[in-house]
Amino acid sequence: MTGVGVHSPIGNSMAEVSDALTHQRTGIRIQESWLDIEGLYTHLGAAVLGDNLEFPKHETRTMGRVARLALRATLDALEDSGLDEAAWQSSRCGLSYGSTQGSTEALIDFATKLVKADGGLRGFRPTTYIQFMSHTCVANLGTALGIRGRIIPTSSACTSGSQGIGYGYESIKYGMQDIMIAGGAEELHYTHAGLFDRLRATSTRYNDDPESTPRPFDADRDGLVVGEGGATLILEEWEHATARGAQIYCEIVGFGTTCDGLHMTAPDVGGMAAVMSVALDDAGLTADAIDYVNAHATATLLGDVAESRATFTTFGDATAVSSTKGLTGHTLGAAGALESIICIAAMRDRFLPANTNLASADPECAMLDYVFEPRSATLAHVM
């Protein structure tokens, strides 16, 4: 990994993200515009603040907010990497990027005009479709950057960013590319919160106390808080990076991805444990080599229990574990990429991020080595 770009609810650079994590500064806030939405029970979200998403209009006609977040994070990552335009426009540079979906604002605009036109296409703009199509991030990035190598869209809900990085890693590992731009993005919208509301998975008990939720693994957790962000990593083949004297943050040594094959939404302990083992096997590491696990845990009642038990099955109780969603919220398609950058920040700045809002672990959860407060640590391998 030779470059990082991040726009998140807790900071728009790795230094800002580290500072927020070590001081436990939350990005969860009351969304004032949601208060009057009929049938929406949660009022909390985690928005990117102070974002710089202004680009020339002709460059962003096909971009909704989610694609602009992806572009800003990617431009920052490319600048951080020191790569020049000729390098990323070479056929040896590819792009692997994802989001849960495209721009919801654009989708609503399209659907509203469709209904008003009684199913006709009066007022329909093709650029609107490109803004809300599921592969909008990777398509827009490919065009904006002039990518000539392979393009891999990942639209797999909360694993979109993780798989973006993983498929980028595999593209380099197997000699298909020298450089991969990888990551994930998501834009905040009340309908995302509304969906989880209907699944009874959002935090509502703390609507007037945003700093106290979400509470991953905590006995008093009551659900997740949705967020947004864009997070991009520049991956390079080792010799390619060292030959140009690039800064190297860390190395990806293993990746795993699987399907439980059981249920659309219910968490499965066996499936979760299996994919951790696949990643360890790919890395050629044993579980005791891992110094820290950044958990997915979103603060849902069933998900946290299942994940904690799967993590215990794989690691026992000797490996430090925390979910950082207590500060960032659940950034959906951006989550895996954002949390990878959080792991890089922890390695670089030598600390363990805390489970913010974890006061007392749920006795139904496995008794892991939960990180209750940020603490100094030297980390060799993280998952």
In the chain, where does DSSP find H-type helix?
14-23, 57-60, 65-81, 85-88, 104-116, 126-132, 136-145, 160-173, 190-198, 238-243, 269-283, 301-315, 325-328, 335-349
180 phi, psi to nearest 5 deg: -135, 130
Catalytic site residue 135?
A: no
* Active-site entry in 93, 137, 158, 343: 158
Is 309 within 8 Å of 367 (Cβ atoms)? no
166 phi, psi to nearest 5 deg: -60, -45
308 phi, psi to nearest 5 deg: -65, -40
Distances (CA, A) of 340 to 53, 98, 225, 375: 22, 14, 19, 19
* Active-site entry in 7, 189, 192, 296: 296
Catalytic site residue 158?
A: yes
How far is Cα 202 from Cα 41, in angstroms, rounded to an integer? 8
Distances (CA, A) of 205 to 210, 299, 359: 10, 13, 16
Question: How many residues would you count in the chain?
Answer: 383
Which residue(s) pair with 97 in the sheet? 153, 183
The tokens for 148 are 């000539």
Amino acid at 243: A
Where is 292: in which H helix or E strand? strand 292-294
CB count in 10 Å sphere of residue 28: 28
How far is Cα 324 from Cα 14, in angstroms, rounded to an integer? 15
Q: How far is CA 222 from the centre of its chain?
A: 21
How far is Cα 167 from Cα 182, in angstroms, rounded to an integer? 8
Is 377 within 8 Å of 292 (Cβ atoms)? yes
Catalytic site residue 23?
A: no
* Active-site entry in 7, 43, 135, 330: 330
Residues designated as active site: 158, 296, 330
